[in-house]
Amino acid sequence: MSMKTNDKEQLANTTERLPNAAEQPMNATGQPVNVAGQSANVAEQPMNATGQLSDAEGRLPNAEEQFPNTARPKSGVTERLPRVGNGYDVHRLAPDLPFFLGGIRLEHPLGCVAHSDGDCLIHALCDALLGALALGDIGKHYPDTSDRYKGVDSKALLKTTYDLVRKAGYRLGNADCIVCLQSPKIAHLIPKMSSLLAHILEVAEECVSIKATTGERIGFVGREEGIAVYVTVLLWPCRVKGEG
């Protein structure tokens, strides 16, 4: 279908208004500039002695000045939102050591080299809970340089960690755990692990998901040199005792 005369004129006018890169003014370095010769090239913007972008007087940009209409949240507001945390732990495996995982002992000739009982799943879970509330990591709260935690039952660490979560005014929504382990197979033990951990975390069993995968005989997991666990948690705010 042929175009009407008015349509052709409108298209021509629109095309004429489109910017042409070849016609834009350039500075000596070939960077596009405006009519005043000002460039948006980062290399030409003023910097301080440390190489950070600054104004003409060498002052660092202030976020409140750059975004004057952006309101900063009041203190105590952001921590009442749902929080997400990620945890990761890894342990080397060696012969003739006990192997604890998810709160239970596995029958296996290899076990975790660790200061505590080496429960990699619980350690990653603790790390995720702490991370969700920006409380640091498991090493900060339970250092492997302290005799207090030598051989400690990791279930006790999880209980202490979750007490911190509840004290901060949060509760677990759900936890998703991935265990990377070549051997032994643990699929038949997952329901027992989920039940045990859910009891400590005061949630239903379906709120604690545990999945297992092998290393396909590659990497340190595949070669049965170690175990790794990844955990993601969602925390929901709840009322703290004493709040109105």
pLDDT band at 18 (very low <50, low <70, confident <90, very high): very low
Mean pLDDT for the chain overall: 82
Span 62-80, pLDDT tens digits: 555 554 555 555 555 444 8
Q: Is the dihedral of CA 118, 124, 125, 130 positive or negative?
A: positive
4-33 average pLDDT score: 55
User: Structural domain tally of the chain?
Assistant: 2
Which range, of 58-62, 83-87, 91-95, averages the lowest pLDDT? 58-62
Quote the pLDDT of residue 80. Answer: 81
Instruction: Reply yes or no on whether the pLDDT at 21 is more than 80.
Output: no
Rg for the chain, CA atoms, rounded: 29
188 φ/ψ angles, rounded to the nearest 5 degrees: -75, -15
Which range, of 11-15, 144-148, 238-242, averages the lowest pLDDT? 11-15
Are residues 86 and 41 both part of a single domain? no
Instruction: Reply yes or no on whether the pLDDT at 42 is more than 50.
Output: no
86-111 average pLDDT score: 97
Q: How far apart are CA 87 and CA 119, in angstroms?
A: 13
Are residues 91 and 211 both part of a single domain? yes
Q: How many CB atoms lie within 10 A of CB 93?
A: 24
* Domain stops at, among 44, 66, 88: 66
Look at residue 75 and tell me if it is in a domain: no
194-208 average pLDDT score: 98
The one-letter amino acid code at 133 reads L
pLDDT band at 33 (very low <50, low <70, confident <90, very high): low
Secondary element (H or E) of residue 156: helix 154-167
106-125 average pLDDT score: 97
Instruction: Reply yes or no on whether the pLDDT at 46 is more than 90.
Output: no
Instruction: Reply yes or no on whether the pLDDT at 15 is more than 50.
Output: no
Are residues 26 and 84 both part of a single domain? no
Q: Does 125 or 45 have the greater pLDDT score?
A: 125
Are residues 84 and 193 both part of a single domain? yes
Are residues 166 and 93 both part of a single domain? yes
Instruction: Reply yes or no on whether the pLDDT at 84 is more than 80.
Output: yes
Q: Does 16 or 167 have the greater pLDDT score?
A: 167
Assigned token pair, 82: 């749902």
Range(s) of the domain holding residue 50: 5-66
CATH number of 149's domain:
3.30.1330.50
pLDDT band at 107 (very low <50, low <70, confident <90, very high): very high
